[in-house]
Each structure stands twice: as C-alpha cells, then as structure tokens.
Amino acid sequence: MKAAQDLRGLLAAGRLVQAPGAPDPLTARLVERAGFPAVYMTGFGATATRLGQPDLGLMTQTEMTGLARDMVRATALPVIADADTGYGGIANLVRTIEEYCQSGVAAIHIEDQTLPKRCGQLSGVSLVAADEQARRLRAALRARGDHPMLVIGRTDALGVHGLDEALDRARRYLDAGVDLVFVDGVKTIAQAEGIARGLDAPKVLSVVDGNETAALTAARIEELGFDLVFYALSTLFSAARAIADTLDALRRDGSTIGRAGDMMSYEEFAEVVDLARYQRLEKEFG
C-alpha cells in the first residue's frame, strides 16, 4: 500500500512524474539507481524479454502479475503496471484487480481493446464499445475497494477512430471514476497537444522512441499539463542494441575486449544486484 500512497503523493505535488519502462526487475533497479521517482512495468517489454515475441496479447494474467511481484520486490520505487484488458470477462477482470492489489504495485492501466489485444502502436487494433468499457472500469474500481492502488483508464481509440473519439472515451472513463486517463498510440507532437487541450483532468502520456514525441522534453510535457509520462521502450531498445553490438564484436573479433568500455564492470553489476547485502548475511549467519 505504501507504494500507491507514495505515487499519489508524487502526483498531488503537481509536478510531472517520469516513469521509464522496465521489462524486468533488473532494469527496474537501474531506473531506481538513475534517480527516477517511479518505474513502468511494460507489457511490450515483458513479452519481449520473457517470450522473445511481439506484444500481441501473448502474456497471461499470471505471468504479468508474477512479474509485477518480482519487480515490487526488486525496487523501492512505485511500480506502474500494464494490466492489458484485464484478461477476460468481468470475473477475470475482478481477479486481475485483486492480484495486482496483492502484488504491491502502485497503479495499473486497463485498456479498451478487444481480445486478442495488441501493442497500441500497431495497426489492426479493435475496440470494445465505450459504454461496455466504462462498465468494466466501474467493476474494476469496485473490486479495488479502499485499496490505494490507482486505476488508469487507457483508450486505444486514437489510431482507430481519431482524436475526438479518443477524448470522448477518456471523458467517459473519467466519469466512471478512474484516477487518470491514458490515450495510447500517440505518435506526433500535434496529437499530444490535442490531448492536452482536450482533457482537463489527470492524464498520462507515453513517449515511444522512433516517434516524433521523443523530441518532447519533460519540461514541455509538464507544460502541456500531463501528470505522468511513460518512456515504455527506451531501456529495452537500448539494451537490445548494446547486446547485439557486443555479440557482433565477439563474432567478428573473437573477443569482447573492444567492448569493455561499453560494459559495466563485475563490481558495478554486483552493486546493482545488491550482492553485498547477501555477503553480509552469510558472514553473520552462515
């Protein structure tokens, strides 16, 4: 519960909360070490690192909530988790809320795609009716009860029906009682500005590398009026490139010596995973 209360406090302070994406607990630790106030558990990244496959709704509820628990254990930061569509009907959605509350995450977002869902940046997205999604969100909020975990209503309507429909759905989800709204699939600065103008409410922006929005600074995003920003794929794409470059060098040169300056040392990595804590325990009790 403390993580959710911490996140609520950050949002209440009126400053933009930056939450870089983490596909795994190790990356979550690195986000914390870098000094960010929160971390985003990305479903895209989870699917890539666990399955080596694209974000097409392949991860199950138990896989996602298991990852959430691992990430909460790994970092003191508030974890904001992707809960996809809730993984089924109303009963499945209620269980999803209960599992995420028990996991210790600070917030989740629930989207309005039909099953099977897919990454909001892709074409071919299909949506449930707005009224149906509003009912589902009300059920999620009832399942949450008095637990402080925040529920974010996400809509993927921008790429399917355009900005007006996305704004209309976001307002409906606010009326249903969600804590923040999240219009996903933003690719241009003009779209981000349109969302900012159209929603006078707590809101989320997701910045995806390779899109025009990557040029937006945190200061500009805050100026637009967003409360929370995800950088969902930045760490994943950076890590994938670094790994690929190291493997290319090893294959080409037969050694990684030329990449040494781009790697953490053993000692640095041991600090990230908190090896010293376990060494102290072994020394005292082993």
Kindly list the catalytic residues.
Answer: 119
Distance CA 191, CA 185 (A): 9
Q: How far is CA 27 from CA 133, 135, 235, in A?
A: 32, 35, 8
Q: How far apart are CA 216 and CA 222, in angstroms?
A: 10
What would the two tokens of residue 244 be?
């690929």
